[in-house]
Homo-oligomer: A and B are copies of this chain.
Amino acid sequence: MALKVALLGCGVVGSEVVRLMNEQSTELAARIGTPLEIGGIAVRRTGRVRDTGLDPELFTTDAMSLVTRPDIDLVVEVIGGIEPARSLILAAVKAGKSVVTANKALLAEDGEVIHDAARDAGVDIYYEASVAGAIPLLRPLRDSLAGDRINRVLGIVNGTTNYILDRMDALGAGFAESLEEAQALGYAESDPTADVEGFDAAAKAAILARLAFHTPVTAADVHREGITEVTAGDIVSAQAMGCVVKLLAICQRSEDGASVGVRVHPVMLPREHPLANVKEAYNAVFVEAESAGRLMFYGAGAGGSPTASAVLGDVVAIARNRRAGTFAADGDDDSVLAVHPMGETVTRYHVALDVADRPGVLAAVAEVYAANGVSIKNVRQEGHGEDAQLVLVSHQAPDAALARTVEQLRTLDMVRAVASVMRVEAFQH
């Protein structure tokens, strides 16, 4: 009694899923306890002959009929985007099929609807591939840490931006030329907006936050800043502090535990932090949990094979559940926490000011910090005369107070320019 899989989409990831299912059919059957069989593949056009070695009869353009067909057990959705993926997944779930999806956009926008539907129908919805590609991350967050309390998640979840920032750090190159290099090498798309403006990372941050805090979070809740304004000067400033610049997705519980903040923006991170050593287009997610302490998960964030590996891991899991006649209800959102706005999130700022090199500058600057209730952790002057720069790192304070401080610094006579502003992250304790 083979389990029948319907595949929605047969692009880079989908065709790799087919290849792996064929190549490893014996091992997979042994691990599941029953063979897997491809019951059908929905594509936009069946005209093109596909190099899958599969019966052409399996291909169909009628995805809706495929996902509701009585003999189908599992549906694998690798189309991406909101529609028609959402309607297809909901129809599949209502028809009693378990679903594997890699669709971060959909989960970040409409995760609750889909999870509720799956729970009501008593089927599985697994989505390991939606965040950080092949890195086994979501199930560990959901399952292995189910007995723990997660306080913070810091993630490098976008390979394109990590590649660009890594090149800027290694070569002293600017953003524009690093982006061009990334595009030439296939690490960035010709329209890089979703990556460099942080939209992709924000969707993943929403998914991570929901799993980490057992509370509903959507992409709209995520404060988002991209890396387009990161300059070679920022990188140099970071290096002078022993830091590296990374675009992080940060999901953080407030100190009183009553709310969470979720955000994506560039940060300066100390080089001894494990995330600082994540190079090129790799992804990594760093978790701070009450009992487990510091954890990190590292690996390839994208690509056909890694994503297909994650999809297939999910397929095996839900196939085993099917065979056992059970399903793993996704943890209910048992603690509905408020998502607090960015202004209330506690952060630290690194600020570099081009200043007049004369007495009284530091006093004037320090007064602005004090007036906003922000303490200065350390300050140093670099250069002299025309090149004098004052570099300040604050203690933790609400982001709004820090932003206001920077605004007021801009208006000081003695400050010629705000050369660099960036948040600083470190270990929480």
Which residues from chain A sit less than 8 Å from chain B, CB to CB? 16, 20, 24, 27-28, 30-31, 33, 128, 133-136, 139-140, 143-149, 214, 272, 274, 277-279, 282, 284, 289-300, 303, 305-306, 308-317, 320-321, 324-329, 331-332, 334-335
Which residues of B are found within 8 Å of A33, using beta-carbon distances? 329
- CB of B24 within 8 A of CB of A149, answer yes
Cβ-neighbour of A303 out of B293, B327, B334 (below 8 A) = B293
Task: Tell me whether A30 and B332 are in contact in the complex, defined as CB-CB below 8 angstroms, given that A146-B316, A291-B134, A326-B325 are known contacts.
Answer: yes
Q: A277-B277, A293-B305 are in contact. List 13 more A-B contacts (CB 8 A).
A: A24-B149, A28-B147, A31-B332, A31-B334, A33-B329, A136-B136, A143-B316, A272-B279, A289-B309, A295-B297, A320-B329, A324-B324, A324-B327
Which residues of B are found within 8 Å of A291, using beta-carbon distances? 16, 20, 134, 305-306, 308-309, 312
A269 to B136, CA, bound (A): 25
- CB of A312 within 8 A of CB of B148, answer yes
- CB of B331 within 8 A of CB of A31, answer yes
Instruction: Please give the distance in Å from A282's CB to the nearest CB on chain B.
Output: 8
Task: Tell me whether A146 and B274 are in contact in the complex, defined as CB-CB below 8 angstroms, given that A135-B295, A299-B294 are known contacts.
Answer: no
- CB of B335 within 8 A of CB of A27, answer yes
Cβ-neighbour of A293 out of B274, B299, B320 (below 8 A) = B299
- CB of B306 within 8 A of CB of A146, answer no
A284 to B277, CA, bound (A): 14
Instruction: Please give the distance in Å from A30's CB to the nearest CB on chain B.
Output: 4
A292 to B300, CA, bound (A): 7
**Which B-chain residue is minimally distant from A325 (CB atoms)?**
B326
A312 to B421, CA, bound (A): 42
A128 to B144, CA, bound (A): 8
- CB of B147 within 8 A of CB of A313, answer yes
Q: List 20 A-B contacts (CB under 8 A).
A: A16-B291, A27-B214, A28-B147, A31-B214, A134-B289, A134-B292, A136-B136, A144-B317, A146-B316, A147-B313, A147-B316, A148-B312, A272-B279, A277-B277, A291-B305, A291-B306, A292-B310, A293-B300, A298-B298, A324-B326
Instruction: Please give the distance in Å from A120's CB to the nearest CB on chain B.
Output: 15
